[in-house]
Structure 1
Amino acid sequence: MIQRIKQTARLMKKRLEYGCFSYHHWLRPIEKNKIVVSAYYGGGYADSPKAIVAELLPQGFDIVWLVRDGQEKTLPAGVRPVRYGSKQAIHELATAKIWLDNCRQKYSPPKRKQQVYFQTWHGSLALKKIEKDAAKQLQPAYLDRAKRDAKKCDYMMAGSDFCERIYTDSFWFRGEVLASGTPRCDALLKTDAALTQYVAEAFQSKPTTKFALYAPTFRQGENLTAYLQDFTKVHEALQNRFGGEWKILVRLHPNVAKLAKQINYGENILNATDYPDMQELLAVSEWLITDYSSSMFDMAIAGKKVVLYTPDLDNYLKKERAMYFDLKELPFQLTKTPEALVSQMEEFDEADYHKKLAVFQQHIGSYETGNASVMVADKIKEIIAKG
């Protein structure tokens, strides 16, 4: 009896290391057809979880999406909203067969052996160093959560040999990496006329409108100093060099979304910061202007045009995170002034650009085919079918 008590105490101590005391939920059976999903800590229907769920919806699963207040309106029919971080959310997680997330879990019950956790992560290819590789720049509380989350993960999915190495070496991850591609990038490799029309209508534009997207990443100092703010000459360059009717969508990173109201917009310069799905904006845009955002790699998968505007490059490299790639060795033109940016767009050499893209994709060992969502959804269906 004493030995059994000691074993139980050791087991409970080990379980309590996960920081959650919701073990009473273990009295409830696991519902094998239930899939609980979260993206961006309670954000709406977006990113790789969205792409995977879209493939699972016709199968009749009980799909629960954990959302913050107001985000439930983004969910399609067939997806059940539950408030992120609530007691009900803990219950749903505790009784689900499948967990699907794109960020480290903040609120979850202890995972049971019969449950399977898919971690999609929120990027296709990282520019800035992440997780273990950026441990000195990350908060201790986050590192602790990341390590505990990694112990629970069963599957991650990679779009290249490079990504697979990072997940294996730098994520404290010991599960299986699926060489599937990146689900959220599938839409970039397909033509979707309905999506094009939907986004055009969202910005009160014609279906024939051509879009360029300006999507810089955030800085630690929350101001617009390093951001492009006058788009007049950029718009003129697009019109003159490529023809057609162009509009520029401006989308700031969620961490500095409040700065969006400080930018001057107009008929052809539109505020897209609050648009719920970044991937949809990338999918309909022909050009991306960014700085240090990994969205450049998403656009590269589709062979779309990218130019980097980095007026604070030297300072950024000193104060922000180290990078996996030298920006000067990437296939994208690097500019530091508005004049150089406009010049690069006016003189853009598409043939040379695609040659550089091909070399880069070979270098990272890309295996993006546009079918990642189907592959991951099939894996989930296979697991559920086995019970």
Structure 2
Amino acid sequence: MPDTAFARRNAEKVLWLPQYVLGDLVTRVVPRRPGTWVVGSAYGVHDGARALVEELVERGRAAEVTWLARTPQEAADARALGVRALRHGSLAAFRAATRAAVVVLTHGYGDASRFGTGGALVVQLWHGSPLKRMHLDSPAAMRLPLLGDAPPVPALLGAMYRRGGARIGLLPVSSPTVAPLMASALGADPERVEVLGEPRADVLFRGTEQERRDAARARLEASVGDLGGRRVVLLAPTWRDGAADPVVPTQAEWAAVESWLAAHDAVLVVRPHPLAVGDWSHRSDAVRLLDSALEPEVMRVLWATDAVVSDYSSVVIDAAVTGVPLVFLAPDLEDYTRRHGLYEPYAATTAGRVERTWAQALDRLSDTWVGAPGRDEALRHTRALADRYHQRRDGRAAARVVDRVDALLGRPATAPVGPVRGTAFFESFHGRNVSCNPAAIDRELARVAPDVQRYWSVSRDDVEVPAGATAVRVGSPEWLAARDRADLLVLNDWIEDGWRPRREQFVLQTWHGTPLKRIALGRRDRTPRLFAAVVKQSTRWSAMLAQNPFAARALRRSYAVARPMWTLGYPRNDVVVTSSGEDVRARLGVTTPRVVLYAPTWRDDALDGPDPLDAVALADRLGPGWTVLARGHARTLGLRAEVGADRVLDVTGYPDVSDLLALADVLVTDYSSVMFDFSATGRPMVFHVADAEHYEREVRGFAWDLGERAPGPLVRSVEEVADAVARADDPDERARWAERYARWRADFNALDDGHAAERVVRRLLDVGALPRR
């Protein structure tokens, strides 16, 4: 059976269940030591694991690292890097794994210690970007010997894989294209899959192109012998789960290959998968074997190639960076797709060119060789593939991973690499003001990276921008130029025109609230046109910010977000929990001791209609000790409050609602997301829901029943609102809502601690959204 290799390994995992349980018990009682790393890799001291250790050694942190080695040679290689090595599978290795703060893997938990990872920060580096389906996504991976894929087997194995995936604390990937695939395949939390680049690929981006080519050529010849100045075609088929490789040429095909190589003054370098099954014994001066025992890291020789022939291997994704023609030879496409599966139709990956025989593959090589008519088209396809799969091309992925691990563990950054420079472009509510999450991120970025050039999108000339920033008017040539050349864009709403970012630009969509009401694809009135518009939006974003886990799930569904979701808290709420609001009080001229903020949501069906609550009547009923601040939604022009009315201020035009939330003693709202922001203060809230049934049935609808979770009273009339506001600080009233409020804050405000902007800017720097020089 072609799937016996997977089945055998799955059987071993099932038999190890008692040891997993015992290991979990041990890790519950053994404390982990801060600043310690255990590293293991199925292929030895190579690829991403090696790159990560080298980065730690370069930072002077070699003493923190223990490598778990399977062979004496691997132990010697690890010690040569300057780190401690222990024998994999030994009691000492198990003890090291149970005590380490960080456990690094490249394949599976067996790389380090299968039974000692509970409670550690598990960093899964993986070993390539997948074209073929893997693990949870592949039928071939859900089998056991004898039982095959009988009904209980996939469920059991799926539960095991998901349990392991849930333990992954960081999974760095090369691009947003790869992120959802890896999360799905390994069962990892999508928020733990981050586009930091692959440490294993750093070697592809270091030095000038000529330096890369020279180093790769020298390394290749050290393994396969002198190439005599000839061009190189690399053949690199994937593993077929224990089945024989149909890409292996027949004797007649080898003769044709030899003839083609002679005619084109080329050498074929064959790199079978290390686990491949098949007869790759053919040798000649023109056909060389790149033995994985001599050259474990194929990445290090890719720049020496002039063309690559492969099938479903991740090698083609890596080789695309070098800009050479890619030839896809897949004799078993239908069978492989049925057994294993591919993440997208093969024609989409190959631009419709799939060769089924060696004769076709050789014709394709001829058509794309230097000076051939099909070369330009082939190179365009190569560049497009590289753009899709490689977002980080600065050779600093290992550095970003170490920085990110340190950040997750609360350790200060250890590798300053010079000042942060570049250009950042900010826009809030389509330029109507400077506010919300973009404004808070701008403040923090200006503090930690003053050399960054900052632009603010404004819809009017009277919009005041932060000190040191440059205002650019929406639609102007200066605005278009600033947006096009920015390294980083921070937005909190839709991109209204057809603009699309360049591959190297980073677009952070912060959004503007945790959504109780249904939005985008969650709306009942969604249409195919809306679906297309939403997908067009979300595919432009490099990452999306969420205030809390509920918001992360809701926004991911509502916007079909396939890119990373950063659940870091809302930067706009930093001021809500740290400011007394007294400066805003003075700015607004508020003289009463108490302030209530009335902030309803936007009503799609009544933009120009009456407000749900009469703010003037509310002020009259509350009496002289209260001022009512009436705040319309950002999409409205204003409330219908009389600006001159006693103790009523229409603050719809005030730039940032966060300042008003910091000032208010009580919030009155309906279904607005400000409820999730104000609750960070722990102060009383009153919910005016006079049109709840209509809003639920006819307008938007809700993610869940507000009445079942609200940490304050739901009322319907202005009289009831006034009464609830007046009683809000009564000890009995506070006690009535205390338990609900505590649950609410645990669910929605755990990350609103005054440091969200710091976390977001740190993450932006970690992922290389701005260049360092």
- 1:358 corresponds to: 742
Matched, 1:373 2:752: no
Q: 1:267 & 1:257 partners in 2: Cα distance? A: 21
Helix, strand or coil for the counterpart of 1:41?
helix
Matched, 1:62 2:441: no
8 Å CA contact 1:90–1:109 kept in 2: the answer is no
Larger Rg computed on CA atoms:
2
- 1:23 corresponds to: none
Matched, 1:315 2:694: yes
Tell me how far 1:77 sits from its aligned partner.
Answer: 1.5
Q: 1:140 & 1:44 partners in 2: Cα distance? A: 32
Q: 1:338 & 1:295 partners in 2: Cα distance? A: 20
Between 1:138-147 and 1:303-312, the stretch displaced more is: 138-147
Helix, strand or coil for the counterpart of 2:635?
helix
CA deviation string 1:68-106 (max 9, x = no partner): 12343x212211011113332222122111111011212
Tell me how far 1:367 sits from its aligned partner.
Answer: 2.9
Counterpart residue type for residue 196 of structure 1: E
Tell me how far 1:217 sits from its aligned partner.
Answer: 1.8
Tell me how far 1:256 sits from its aligned partner.
Answer: 3.4
CA RMSD after TM alignment: 2.9
> Structure 1: where are the runs of 5+ without partners?
15-30, 240-244
Matched, 1:77 2:467: yes
Q: 2:748 & 2:630 partners in 1: Cα distance? A: 29
Helix, strand or coil for the counterpart of 2:478?
helix
- 1:216 corresponds to: 600
Tell me how far 1:190 sits from its aligned partner.
Answer: 0.9
User: Which of 422, 429, 434 is matched with 1:45 structurally?
Assistant: 434
User: Which of 305, 310, 326 is matched with 2:684 structurally?
Assistant: 305
Matched, 1:154 2:539: no
Compared CA separation, residues 273 and 110, structure 1 to 2 (3 A)? closer
- 1:247 corresponds to: 627
Q: 1:269 & 1:262 partners in 2: Cα distance? A: 7
Helix, strand or coil for the counterpart of 2:601?
coil
Tell me how far 1:131 sits from its aligned partner.
Answer: 2.1
- 1:117 corresponds to: 507
User: Which of 332, 336, 339 is matched with 2:712 structurally?
Assistant: 332
- 2:582 corresponds to: 196
Between 1:163-172 and 1:222-231, the stretch displaced more is: 222-231
Matched, 1:104 2:527: no
Helix, strand or coil for the counterpart of 1:374?
helix
Counterpart residue type for residue 506 of structure 2: V
Identity %: 23
8 Å CA contact 2:615–2:648 kept in 1: the answer is no
Q: 2:494 & 2:382 partners in 1: Cα distance? A: 24
Tell me how far 1:233 sits from its aligned partner.
Answer: 5.4
Matched, 1:3 2:3: no
Compared CA separation, residues 228 and 363, structure 1 to 2 (3 A)? same
Q: 2:640 & 2:383 partners in 1: Cα distance? A: 50
Q: Which runs of 4+ in 1 moved over 6 A?
A: 8-14
Q: 1:350 & 1:234 partners in 2: Cα distance? A: 22
8 Å CA contact 2:619–2:647 kept in 1: the answer is no
8 Å CA contact 2:454–2:468 kept in 1: the answer is yes
Compared CA separation, residues 107 and 65, structure 1 to 2 (3 A)? farther
Compared CA separation, residues 230 and 205, structure 1 to 2 (3 A)? closer
Q: 1:316 & 1:345 partners in 2: Cα distance? A: 23
Counterpart residue type for residue 333 of structure 1: P
8 Å CA contact 1:117–1:155 kept in 2: the answer is yes
Helix, strand or coil for the counterpart of 1:137?
coil
Higher relative contact order (CA 8 A, sep 6+): 1
- 1:205 corresponds to: 590
> Structure 2: where are the runs of 5+ without partners?
1-371, 386-419
Matched, 1:90 2:480: yes
Compared CA separation, residues 318 and 12, structure 1 to 2 (3 A)? farther
8 Å CA contact 2:680–2:749 kept in 1: the answer is no
Compared CA separation, residues 364 and 252, structure 1 to 2 (3 A)? closer
Counterpart residue type for residue 281 of structure 1: L
Q: 1:138 & 1:86 partners in 2: Cα distance? A: 33
TM-score normalised per structure 2: 0.43
Q: 1:38 & 1:11 partners in 2: Cα distance? A: 34
Q: 1:8 & 1:263 partners in 2: Cα distance? A: 65
Counterpart residue type for residue 158 of structure 1: A
Q: 1:386 & 1:282 partners in 2: Cα distance? A: 36
8 Å CA contact 2:666–2:685 kept in 1: the answer is yes
- 1:242 corresponds to: none
CA deviation string 1:310-338 (max 9, x = no partner): 22222222211110121211222110112
Between 1:341-350 and 1:5-14, the stretch displaced more is: 5-14
Tell me how far 1:378 sits from its aligned partner.
Answer: 1.9
CA deviation string 1:271-326 (max 9, x = no partner): 21211111111111111111121111111122121101122222222211110121
Q: 2:736 & 2:547 partners in 1: Cα distance? A: 24
Compared CA separation, residues 71 and 127, structure 1 to 2 (3 A)? farther
Q: 2:498 & 2:451 partners in 1: Cα distance? A: 24
TM-score normalised per structure 1: 0.83
Between 1:4-13 and 1:264-273, the stretch displaced more is: 4-13
Counterpart residue type for residue 94 of structure 1: D
Tell me how far 1:138 sits from its aligned partner.
Answer: 5.1
Q: 2:527 & 2:481 partners in 1: Cα distance? A: 29
Helix, strand or coil for the counterpart of 1:255?
coil
Between 1:269-278 and 1:143-152, the stretch displaced more is: 143-152
Q: How many residues align?
A: 358
8 Å CA contact 1:211–1:287 kept in 2: the answer is yes
